[in-house]
Amino acid sequence: MANSRGGRVYVTEGGEKIYGIMAEFATPADLYHAAEKVRDAGYKEWDTYTPFPIHGMEDAMGVQRTKLPVAVFAAAMTGAGLAMLMQWWMSSVDYKLVTQGKPYFSWQAFVPITFELGVLFSAFTALLGMIALNKLPMWYHPLTKKERFLASSDDKFFVAIEAKDSKFDPERTRELLQKAGATSIELVEE
């Protein structure tokens, strides 16, 4: 039994494929330290789930800085460039309009719209880029089958380690989370 990643596939006794192991923690501090332990144990396919962004969590998890701001900067330049190009083409090529005796391409007067479109493009890229990089919308996820997990949007803190991680082992992974101070641990089916 080998999946595409060359790892193993775990199934429950009922024959259901296993998504991973989910562990609950009571406080942000407990979760923070648990995340550091999971990171140091070398896991890659895992995540923590918290009701609010915890300060410094990306370091505790070893998450790389997102490239989103670079994409937004590119979008801002694209928006501004297109705006200037549009105004140049419309007022000095396609429909030459003399206003106040100014040159057809009086770029100074085109600055406000150039700026606004730069902002508009960056705002759309920031939101849609965030959604796309997070692989959303995704209206189904194995974890949401667990009623306990729904408290992650209220006041509970979770770690979930996926079975597709090469280091995943039902026994040892469970032990690691137990040692990290989990208040409850559950196996999650796909």
Query: Does 186 participate in binding other proteins (rule CB under 8 A)?
Result: no
Segment 63 to 82, residues that bind other proteins, using CB under 8 A: 63, 66, 68-69, 72, 76
CB-nearer residue toward other proteins: 72 or 176: 72
Exactly one of 24, 129, 168, 180 binds other proteins (CB under 8 A); which one?
Answer: 129
From 44, 11, 1, 41, select the one nearest 162 (Cα to Cα): 44
Tell the smallest beta-carbon distance from residue 81 to other proteins (Å).
16
Give the residue among 145, 139, 140 at the shortest CA–CA distance from 189: 145
Residue 82 DSSP SS3: helix
Q: Is 119 in the site for other proteins (CB under 8 A)?
A: yes
Nearer to other proteins, 4 or 95 (CB): 95
β strands within 36-183, DSSP E: 46-49, 157-162
Interface with other proteins, residue 184, by CB under 8 A: no
Provide the residue count of the chain. Answer: 190
Binding of residue 130 to other proteins (CB under 8 A): yes
How many Å apart are CA 146 and CA 24, to the nearest integer? 12
Least distance in angstroms from the C-beta of 1 to other proteins: 28
Phi-psi region of 100 (alpha: psi -120 to 50; beta: other; left: phi over 0): left
- At 87, give phi and psi (nearest 5°): -70, -40
Q: Is 3 in the site for other proteins (CB under 8 A)?
A: no
Place of tokens 């801002």: 76
Measured from the CB atom, the residue of 4 and 55 that comes closer to other proteins is 55
Q: Is 38 in the site for other proteins (CB under 8 A)?
A: no
If binding is defined by CB under 8 A, does position 170 make contact with other proteins? no
